Amino acid sequence: MSGGLVALLDDIATLAKVTASSIDDVAANAVKASSKAVGVVIDDTAVTPQYVSGLSPARELPIIGKIARGSLINKLFIILPIALLLTWLAPQVLPFLLIVGGAYLCFEGGEKVLEKLGWLPGHHEEHDEGGATSSEELEKGIVASATRTDLILSAEIMLVSMAGLSNETGIMRVAVLIAVAFFMTFFVYGLVALLVKADDFGLRLAKDAIKPEDNRPGPVDNVGRTIVRVMPHIFNV
């Protein structure tokens, strides 16, 4: 009886080691695959704040959260199944999809440069804050528009990540891509949330740093004011 229990515990320990090793492999491959998609991630991070520009500060984080959820759905339930199916049925198509996605991102980047130079009219959406119903519809429209844009960027992220997993097959590839989807989504939209709320943080810092008795700005107050001044320029870059 005791011998059987010892054998069972030994099997459990072995299984735990194998599981831990597999998790380490998934994490290492996910980091490796994610690093290849850094360029697309930067573009994704730069695009998203535009959608909450001009909205009430109280609504910024909820909208970013909804966009992040839509991005995760794009990656896990649309892009990943299609990419895996193409890998199985027509792997020769994937490089062409990467080229098409890269060409689109180049076109989008070139368009932004031309807008900055004044050679093309800018595309700026005006947010109407009037009425509870219109505000709700506005939020749905913003989330839908951002999710559609994210679909292209997420597809490029997942395809670039998949291209870096040519030596992995089966369950390991799927597990790594799922890890990439979660990591990239939380990283991108977490960073977007920090950028969007940075000016609010700077304003709070500036207000809290001024003492009522002297009403003079100090070092902390200057940091807050600098953040408030700099953030609009960062979004305009």
pTM value?
0.77
Q: Residue 185 CA to chain centroid, in angstroms?
A: 4
Q: Which residue has the tokens 């990283």?
A: 187
> For residue 189, what pLDDT band results from cuts at 50, 70 and 90?
very high
What pLDDT score does 132 carry? 46
Tell me the per-residue pLDDT of 36-95, one tens digit each, with 9 for 90 and over: 676 667 766 767 777 777 778 888 899 999 999 999 999 999 999 998 898 889 888 888
pLDDT at 103: 84
Q: Is 125 helix (H, G, I), strand (E, B) or coil?
A: coil
Q: Domain map of the chain by residue range?
A: 2-188
pLDDT higher than threshold 80 for residue 144: yes
**Highest-scoring range by mean pLDDT, 36-50, 105-119, 126-140, 222-236:** 105-119
- Backbone phi and psi for residue 165, each to the nearest 5 degrees, phi listed first: -115, 35
pLDDT at 222: 75
pLDDT of amino acid 197: 86
What pLDDT shows up at residue 110? 82
> What pLDDT, on the 0 to 100 scale, is given for residue 66?
93
Residue 187 to residues 26, 38, 69, 190, Cα–Cα distance (Å): 17, 11, 13, 5
